Amino acid sequence: MGDLNEFPLKYKLFLKAYPWRRIDPVPWAPMKKPLDECRLALVSSAGLVIAGQAPFDESIRGGDYSFREIPSDTNLSALIDTHRSDLYDHSGLRQDPNLAFPLDRMRELAENGRIGSLNHRHLSFMGSITAPGRLAKKTAPAAVSKLAEDKVDIALLVPV
């Protein structure tokens, strides 16, 4: 669990040989205020969309590097899983979207004061991106700028 051995041999070999993008230098933004004063945003790579949004596009070579905004008042039952990978079991996430987009858990933490507040929007990506250059150079900066404009302090990122 949580290692390369959960994948078929062919994919395991691909992951072993894949040139993972090294983040260098590693940027570092320490929290500037206590957690109970921080505004939090979620970022998921589970390919989630809501009604009216285009599904992530499986046909884009190298992976769909676009993003969707998920409003904070979204009912989790309204989220649609459009992730293209068949290398993992989607049933848990479809049963309980909190597994990869823990919006209910974050609402509870805001209500009990562990975090200051939830941002009014969150970010959804589709993580099956083998050619991540456009994500790193274009869409991630554009998406993050929106959270910076919202004065988000902290973010929890969840892959799937």
Partner 1 sequence: MCNQAVGLVAAELERQGISTVTIQLLRYVAEKMCPPRALAVPFRHGYPLGKPDDPVHQHAVIEAALKMLEDKSLQPPAIVDYVAKQGL
Site for partner 1 in 97-136 (CB under 8 A): 98-100, 102, 104-106, 108-109, 114-115, 123, 125-130, 132, 135-136
Q: What are the start-end ranges of the H helices in 51-119?
A: 91-95, 103-111
Of 28, 74, 45, 20, residue with least CA distance to 139: 45
Contact 26, 55 (CB under 8 A): no
CA 104 centroid distance within chain: 15
Closer CB to partner 1, residue 44 or residue 52? 44
CB-count burial class (<10 Å; 0-12, 13-18, 19+) for 7 = middle
The label of the residue with tokens 């939830």 reads: 118
User: Residue from 63, 68, 72, 82 that binds partner 1 (CB under 8 A)?
Assistant: 63
CB of 73 to partner 1, least distance (A): 19
- Please check whether residue 98 is in contact with residue 105, taking contact to mean a CB–CB distance below 8 angstroms: yes
Closer residue to partner 1, CB minimum distance, 70 or 126 = 126
156 binds partner 1 (CB under 8 A): yes
Q: Which of 8, 9, 10, 30 touches partner 1 by CB under 8 A?
A: 30
The smaller minimum CB distance to partner 1, of residues 57 and 96, is found at 96
Tell me whether residue 10 or residue 52 sits nearer to partner 1 (CB atom): 10
Nearer to partner 1, 52 or 59 (CB): 59
Q: Does 148 bind partner 1 (CB under 8 A)?
A: yes
Residues 79-98 that bind partner 1 (CB under 8 A): 85, 87-93, 95-96, 98
φ, ψ of residue 51 to 5 degrees: the values are -55, 135
Measured over the CA atoms of residue 140, residue 146, residue 148 and residue 150, the dihedral's sign is negative
